[in-house]
Amino acid sequence: MLQTSVAAAEPFVPRRARSEAVRRIVLYVVLVAFALLFFTPFVWTISTSFKTLPDSAYFNLVPHPFTTEAWKSVWNDYDFKRYALNSLFLAVTVTLLNLFLASLGGYAFARLRFPGREVLFLLVLGTLMIPDQLRLIPVFVMLTKWHLIGNFSGYILINLVTAVNLFFMRQYFLTIPRDFEEAAKLDGAGYFKTYWRIMLPLAGPAIAALAILQFQGTWNDFFWPLILFGQGSEHMYTMQLGLAQLTFTYQSLWPQLMAGSLMAIAPILVIFLVFQRFFISGVTAAGIKG
């Protein structure tokens, strides 16, 4: 009895609850509207990739008839099989080299003492500021002199290790307590062994984030493959370069173009779905610390 009279004396409580419900509905409406805006293009892309060419001119969402012809022809006839292998080879190689060199260098900058360390580290920070687009012409001139244009090793060489990755690893190593290394030192482990056996396993999350972001970066890279393989080295095309070439050459072959686009996205999508956690933490950590 007492309780109901209290509730009646405070009419703002139900009003508040109502406004809370309204707020939620508004938020959901906004969310769904954005989701539609973000997703409609992809849904449309997927649908078109399973259509026949004449059917792709119409606006039916469900392919009629449903066919995987476009996927097959892009993969076999338009050479995406080769492009996929090229991309995979470059992405795996560059990622592994970056993992090793960035963590090794990051460990040294975080833990080992050597004269000139601070100066060298300033050079790393300076390197962070140099945009790829600025080194475009000088690097191209250098690689031309060394006959490394139209050659995978040229691409790998200029992407062996990035300052961002090294910086990222160093920052992570700094957060690891020294106790583990002290123990290793007492056991008589050398510096390389300490790095390999103790520090690398402890840096698991950073390694995972770096591997994922670097793989994505190399797989998605359009700029350097265009510069290095774009001039008549069609057998070296990466997925992204091959796709761009396909859009230039066959401008309204929509089912094939959409199948090709989805192939270019697919590996990254799979990695993203499996390792979301590392993706998101990696992006924000690299960004905020860098």
Partner 1 sequence: MREAGWGYAFVLLPMAVFGLFFIYPLVYGIYISFFEWGILGKAAGATASTQNYHTLYNDPVFHRALRNTFEYALLVVPLEMALGLMVALVINAKLRGRAFFRSAFYFPSIASSAAITTIAIFILNPDGLLNRIIGSNQAWFGDSSTALYSVVGLNAWTTSGTVMLFYLAALQSIPTDVYEAAAVGGTRAWRTFWRITFPLLRPAHFFVLVVFGIGALKVFDQFYIVSQGTGGPEYSTLSAVFYIYQEAFKSANFGVGASAGVVLFVAIFLLTLLQRATVGRAELG
Q: How far is the CB of 282 from partner 1 (least distance, A)?
A: 10
Query: Tokens 């995406």 correspond to what residue?
Result: 80
Is residue 209 at the binding interface for partner 1, with CB under 8 A as the rule?
A: no
Closer by beta carbon to partner 1, 50 or else 219: 219
- Taking the C-alpha atoms of residue 96 and residue 103, their distance in angstroms, rounded to an integer, is 11
Tokens, residue 37:
């805006």
Is residue 227 at the binding interface for partner 1, with CB under 8 A as the rule?
A: yes
Q: How far is the CB of 265 from partner 1 (least distance, A)?
A: 5
Among 24, 81, 235, 289, binds partner 1 (CB under 8 A): 24
Among 50, 74, 78, 105, binds partner 1 (CB under 8 A): 105
Closer by beta carbon to partner 1, 153 or else 247: 247
Q: Which stretch binds partner 1 (CB under 8 A): 63-71, 74-82, 190-198, 202-210?
A: 190-198
- Taking the C-alpha atoms of residue 280 and residue 273, their distance in angstroms, rounded to an integer, is 11
List binders of partner 1 among 61-100 (CB under 8 A): none
- Taking the C-alpha atoms of residue 16 and residue 32, their distance in angstroms, rounded to an integer, is 24
Q: How far is the CB of 9 from partner 1 (least distance, A)?
A: 18
Query: Tokens 């476009």 correspond to what residue?
Result: 70
Burial of 38-63, coded b for 16+ CB within 10 Å and e otherwise, reads eeeeeeebebbbbbeeebbeeeeeeb
Q: What DSSP character marks residue 159?
A: T
Whole-Å CA distances, 172 to 23, 74, 128, 204, 282: 40, 42, 17, 10, 11
Tokens, residue 130:
């140099």
Closer by beta carbon to partner 1, 5 or else 71: 71
Closer by beta carbon to partner 1, 64 or else 135: 135
Q: How far is the CB of 126 from partner 1 (least distance, A)?
A: 7
Closer by beta carbon to partner 1, 42 or else 180: 42
Is residue 280 at the binding interface for partner 1, with CB under 8 A as the rule?
A: yes
